[in-house]
Amino acid sequence: MDKKQIQVLLLEDEAAHAEAIRRALESANGDLKLHIVGSLKGFRDYIAADTPDIALVDMVLPDGNGIDLLTYPPESKAFPMLILTSHGNEKAAVDALKAGALDYVVKSPETFAAMSRILTRNLNQWSLIQERKKAEAALQASEENFRNSMDNSLMGIRITDADENTLYLNKAFLNILGYENVDEVRTMPPLKYYTPASYAGYLQRKEKFLHGEPRPDRVEVDIIRKDGAIRHVQLSTAELVWNGKQQFQTIYTDITERKQAEAALQQSEITLHNFLDNSVMGVRIREDDNILYLNQAFLDIFGYQNREEAELTSPLK
């Protein structure tokens, strides 16, 4: 397969200069194919029909200034543009680079002879710029997706710096604390929303962290909502990169219902044990060959002194 030729568009109204550049490119690099136009209109007509890989644009032209092409049309940003001038001018060079030119070249026999190298160098530079832009765009998209996932998370999320200044809060975090406005919570100290016992634990963890101990991965705390209700919350803290810097992300999971269910189950088990312990009927609970429970009435019925004796000698085993 033939190697793809690099399409070079030259905007030059001086025939001698255009010819010098053509000869230099033909003798130095057969991969560069030159297209020559002599006016701004000719340049615009060309790129309306095709897109070059790189363009050389003379600054002073019969129908205007070549710098005007750096911002017209928007599609011109799809390829690199180099400004050519017959007279070196530092201010003009700065203006051209600010307007979007990739390079600024002063015409001379030496630069004409080196034009192939100049174009190749700028094409390589352009390629690196495009790769960097793609990487930056991918990183931005990744950060936006990450932020969207946090915004829509059902778990409360708070991001802080090492000094515990709040950098980000999501809606779920506000819901856990019972607030509507981020500004109400952003600078709120833990003392205001921790219960006294949980605040004491927070101070202990903070002191250990200041002395070089790592933050615990998970911890359970009790918080006081804006309406005064107490909620049980599990905190999970980890480091992450936020806006290019190492920060801390804390995930707040409301476990109030789970803790209440656990407490209810524990109370139910206590009530059942109390009932069985005081029952006049002998009760034994087994799982396969393992005896899980014997009440006193069972021991009395079979004349055992204790559970160990019953487990060893019971014929019902």
Domain ranges of the chain: 6-141, 153-258, 279-313
pLDDT digits (tens, 9 = 90+) for 114-130: 999 999 999 999 999 88
* Residues ≥6 apart with Cβ < 8 Å to 8: 25, 32, 33, 34, 35, 52, 53, 54, 55, 56, 119
Q: What is the pLDDT of residues 145-201, one digit of tens each?
A: 778 888 888 899 999 888 888 888 899 999 999 998 888 888 888 888 999 999 999
The model's confidence at residue 82, banded by pLDDT at 50, 70 and 90, is very high
Mean pLDDT for the stretch of residues 43-47:
91
The architecture that CATH gives domain 6-141 is: 3-Layer(aba) Sandwich (3.40)
3-class state of residue 204 by DSSP: helix
Residues 6+ apart with CB under 8 A from 79: 51, 52, 53, 54, 55, 126
**Length of the chain in terms of residues written:** 317
Please say if the pLDDT value at position 293 is more than 50: yes
What pLDDT shows up at residue 74?
Answer: 47
Please confirm whether the linkage preceding 73 is cis (ω < 30° from 0): yes
User: CA 261 to CA 284: how far, in whole Å?
Assistant: 27
- Cα separation of 101 and 56, whole Å? 10
User: Are the folds of 6-141 and 153-258 the same?
Assistant: no
Pick the CATH number of 153-258 from 3.40.50.620, 3.40.50.1820, 3.30.450.20, 3.40.50.9100: 3.30.450.20
From CA 203, how far away is CA 188, in angstroms rounded? 16
The backbone torsions φ and ψ at residue 27, rounded to the nearest 5 degrees and listed phi first, read -80, -20
pLDDT for the residue numbered 190 = 86
Q: What is the pLDDT of residue 223?
A: 92
Region class of 183: left (phi > 0), else alpha (psi between -120 and 50), else beta? alpha
Tens of pLDDT, residues 17-28: 999 999 999 887
User: When comparing pLDDT for 195 and 260, which is higher?
Assistant: 195
Say what percent of the chain tops pLDDT 90: 34
What is the percent of the chain with per-residue pLDDT over 70, rounded to a whole number?
95
